[in-house]
Chains A and B, each alone.
Chain A
């Protein structure tokens, strides 16, 4: 069974840093493109970042470029999101999610984690 489990969320002050993790199991993690998506309270879904299976290709939303960094460790079946210079409007539930395959025909996010809550507040 495919499972994605996020961790690392919590309360952090504005300007602070946090590192989120996503533990993957039930599939060959090293073969899949992974993403981070967030949802602010009462708001819609916002895609944040994409990392290819080999980490060679990374895309990020303009809203987090230069502040958030996606990475992965295929040996540990883990995905990460390093978040720096956090702002109040980064408060959200953060999800990791998998593209169903590689290639442009497989950009459906077929599995999602349960999410981890990040609260940025003084």
Chain B
């Protein structure tokens, strides 16, 4: 049972903007950066956002991250078919002394 809660699924049509929320607490999101990973079925996860709002080189600027208090969000604008994947937030939890992943969100492009 994860300490970071995400909606199970989000969907949108091509070109739309969708957002994925990640809710935590003061011991995790409230005290550390948030990271986002994208996982296409059958593949290893890939880093999408680091330090809450930074994109690694090669990640399109359609992806953006934000954090406020004990919650974080990932936004995808200009949704494309290749964005269909599972998305996970993650951070360090000081109380657990553990790295924690969110429950994961499946993005579907209609």
Contact = CB atoms under 8 A, between A and B. Distances in A.
Chain A: interface secondary structure?
Answer: strand
Contacts of A44: 2, 86, 88, 101-104
A61 B96 CA distance: 8
Question: Which among A45, A61, A110 has the highest number of chain B CB atoms within 10 Å?
Answer: A45
A6 to B, nearest CB: 10
A62 B45 CA distance: 23
A113 B45 CA distance: 9
Nearest to A59: B97
A28 B104 CA distance: 32
Interface string A21-43: 00000000000000101000000
Contacts of B37: 45, 109
Nearest to B100: A47
Interface residues of A, number: 24
A37 B92 CA distance: 14
A122 interface: no
13 contacts: A35-B99, A44-B2, A44-B86, A44-B102, A45-B104, A47-B98, A47-B101, A95-B45, A104-B92, A105-B33, A108-B50, A109-B45, A109-B47
Given A37-B101, A44-B2, A112-B45, 15 more contacts: A37-B45, A44-B103, A47-B98, A47-B100, A50-B99, A62-B98, A95-B45, A97-B45, A107-B35, A107-B92, A108-B50, A108-B51, A109-B35, A110-B47, A113-B44
